[in-house]
């Protein structure tokens, strides 16, 4: 797979958006200066962007895979991508929960299902690490996509379209299920994952560079226009997106991000744009940043506003705090990436390399035996 800087940059932007959204609640809890604008509430759509990017990457990375063996490899790689890094933050928070359970998930009275949180299974309560609710949806996407990988490649797009149609019809005709497992199965955010996957398939069929610059720019502008509509049309509100999501939000915002991604990767493939490399590097650590930022935000706020320097009413004090807090979040995310994600990636790459060598040796030995006979 060609590694588009646009995709990495989109991951970094998505993580920053979610960080900004959660910063609003931390600011309201600890400071009375009112520095952060309510406009940051649109930052919650960073999750929408994550789902679209995830679908795009899944479609592109499985381009040459088919059959049960490749589906199994796909799931192993996805599990290695999700669980080891997640467990680092899970156990860190678990240690806090063991000592002071009242300060963890205080919005739901400290109630949490630790086993479901550990395995990222659907639950009636938020996971111990609250932001991990989206990972439960991601894992469901991966399971379905692995089943699709077992099928002939030519039916992938029709199968994705049928999956999207089923989700859409359910959202139109039925209420939110009571079962946490059923909620995951029919969650409208699935449409964003599918949209990203269809964009990935479309760009492969058009071989990226065959999409004209004019069309790529039109896709980008259409996507940005839909996102502007999503913002000014109040499609993003304070509703509970963990249990479900407004269908109009998913259609407008999800389509906006899908078209934006399509435009960006097409323009990059044509050499029209060269995304800022720093955002690409930030995208590398976006997963660690996503998992760690809420912990970092709350820890920094507790330390800062309980110290003599933490004037809750001072605008200047709040500005200084948020600059330092933002830097701290980025630093923790980058360090987490290099200490947890990167070693796992290298290990999986070595295992893949050794399997390829073993398979090549096996083929050569069979050829040698056949020639000898």
Neighbours of 343 (CB within 10 A): 12
What are the residues whose beta carbons fall under 8 Å from the beta carbon of 341, sequence distance 6 or more? 84, 85, 285, 287, 288
Helix axes 342-372, 68-99, angle to 10 degrees: 160
* Residue labelled with tokens 């359910």: 170
Three-state secondary structure call for residue 15: helix
List, for residues 72-120, the tens digit of each pLDDT value: 888 999 999 999 999 999 999 999 888 887 777 766 666 789 999 999 9
Residue-wise pLDDT tens digits, 192-219:
999 999 999 988 876 666 788 899 999 9
Is the Cβ–Cβ distance between 199 and 222 less than 8 Å? no
pLDDT, one tens digit per residue, over 6-56 is 999 999 999 999 999 999 989 888 888 778 888 899 999 999 999 999 999
Residue found under tokens 């249990």: 243
pTM for this prediction: 0.91
Among 118-122, 177-181, 269-273, 354-358, name the one with the lowest average pLDDT. Answer: 354-358
pLDDT at 1 over 70: no
The residue that leads in pLDDT, 364 or 214, is 214
């Amino acid at each position: 797979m060609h590694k588009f800087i646009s995709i990495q940059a989109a991951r970094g932007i998505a993580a920053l958006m979610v960080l900004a959204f959660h910063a609003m609640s931390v600011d309201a809890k600890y400071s009375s200066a009112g520095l952060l604008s309510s406009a940051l509430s649109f930052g919650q759509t960073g999750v929408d962007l994550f789902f679209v990017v995830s679908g795009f990457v899944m479609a592109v990375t499985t381009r040459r895979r088919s059959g049960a063996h490749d589906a199994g490899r796909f799931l192993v790689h996805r599990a290695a991508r999700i669980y080891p890094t997640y467990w680092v933050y899970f156990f860190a928070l678990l240690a806090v929960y063991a000592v002071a359970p009242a300060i963890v998930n205080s919005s739901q009275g400290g109630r949490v299902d630790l086993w479901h949180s550990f395995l990222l299974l659907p639950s009636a309560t938020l996971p111990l690490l609250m932001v991990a609710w989206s990972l439960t949806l991601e894992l469901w996407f991966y399971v379905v996509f692995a089943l699709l990988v077992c099928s002939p490649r030519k039916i992938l797009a029709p199968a994705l379209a049928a999956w999207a149609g089923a989700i859409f019809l359910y959202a139109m005709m039925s209420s939110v299920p009571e079962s946490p497992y059923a909620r995951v199965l029919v969650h409208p955010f699935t449409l964003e994952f599918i949209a990203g996957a269809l964009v990935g398939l479309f760009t492969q069929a058009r071989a990226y560079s065959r999409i004209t610059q004019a069309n790529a720019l039109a896709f980008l502008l259409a996507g940005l226009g839909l996102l502007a509509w999503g913002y000014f049309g109040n499609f993003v509100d304070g509703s509970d997106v963990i249990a479900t999501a407004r269908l109009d939000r998913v259609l407008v915002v999800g389509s906006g991000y899908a078209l934006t991604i399509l435009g960006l990767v097409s323009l990059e493939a044509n050499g029209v744009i060269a995304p800022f490399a720093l955002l690409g590097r930030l995208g590398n650590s976006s997963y660690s940043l996503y998992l760690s930022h809420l912990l970092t935000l709350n820890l920094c706020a507790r330390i800062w506003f309980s110290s003599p320097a933490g004037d809750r009413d001072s605008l200047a004090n709040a500005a200084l705090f948020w600059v330092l807090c933002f830097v701290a979040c980025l630093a923790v995310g980058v360090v987490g990436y290099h200490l947890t994600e990167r070693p796992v990636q290298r290990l999986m790459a070595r295992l893949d390399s050794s399997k390829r060598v073993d398979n090549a040796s096996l083929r050569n030995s069979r050829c040698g035996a056949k020639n000898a006979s």
